[in-house]
Amino acid sequence: MKTICFIGMDGSGKSTQCKMLAKRLQQLGVEVKLIHLFTTGSTVSSRVQKKSLLKFFSQKLREIPTYGIKGTIKLLIGLISYFIDAWVTYILHQIKYRKKVVIYDRFFYDRFVTFGVIFDKTPWWIVNFAKFLPKSDMPIIMEVPSKVGNLRKPEDSLEKLEKSLKFYRILASILNIEVIDGTQNFDKIAEHIYRRVSKLIWNK
């Protein structure tokens, strides 16, 4: 299984590039599986949360405030449960899609940025925990200025997008991930990505 993941702030063009790449590879006869990792049912945890007991605990966890000691406990519980969910999900994907190229629209790394945005006064070093998550063969961070992201996704506040941008830049530095300017022409971006993917799949 070869994995390519697109991560980054909302409105940066991730989904567009995922679909363009998947379509191009499929036209070349490559078996592709496109997965939006934040869609309900795409991870083990999101599938089993419908169970009554787990749904109850999940609801109670969401009711805990995101500040103070309770917020810290909530963050720790969230981190531990997410590590388990990420590894179990990734191993199952390796088994199920072992002969395919899997394109992830969002990846496990994104969750640490989500933690950073949601929780009050989240320290930047929390992103370091991403080192212990499953690795993608080719991670890509899509980035646009927060104002551009806000124009594309008006439901996201500038404050949220600016905070996301900061955490994604830290993530890129820690994991040495290429950052692509999402304000460029979509076709130009797609061609650059395809050249990288070609080296990954066919070594050319």
Does residue 141 carry a pLDDT above 50? yes
Tokens 């590879």 locate to: 25
Are 86 and 133 a contacting pair, CB within 8 Å? yes
Across the range 174-183, mean pLDDT stands at: 93
Does residue 77 carry a pLDDT above 90? no
Sheet order of strands, 32-36 included? 32-36, 101-105, 2-8, 138-143, 178-181
In this predicted model, which residue has the larger pLDDT, 60 or 199? 199
Are 105 and 34 a contacting pair, CB within 8 Å? yes
Which pLDDT score, from 0 to 100, does residue 172 have?
92
Per-residue pLDDT tens over the stretch 35-63: 998 776 666 555 555 554 445 455 555 55
- Average pLDDT of every residue of the chain: 82
In this predicted model, which residue has the larger pLDDT, 127 or 46? 127
Structure tokens at 124: 């930047």
- 167 to 106, 119, 127, 129, 198: CA distances (angstroms): 15, 13, 7, 13, 29
Q: Cα(41)–Cα(33) distance, rounded to whole angstroms?
A: 15
Least confident of 46-60, 105-119, 121-135: 46-60
- Cβ contacts of residue 200 below 8 Å, gap of 6+? 2, 4, 137, 138
Domain 2-42+98-202 has CATH 3.30.390.30: no
Q: Report domain extents, the chain.
A: 2-42+98-202
* Core vs surface per residue 81-95: b (16+ CB within 10 A) or e: ebbebbeebbeebee
Structure tokens at 2: 């070869």
Least confident of 21-30, 125-134, 168-177: 125-134
Across the range 171-179, mean pLDDT stands at: 92
Q: Cα(8)–Cα(107) distance, rounded to whole angstroms?
A: 9
Does residue 122 carry a pLDDT above 90? no
Which pLDDT score, from 0 to 100, does residue 53 have?
44
Structure tokens at 19: 């679909």
Across the range 120-129, mean pLDDT stands at: 69
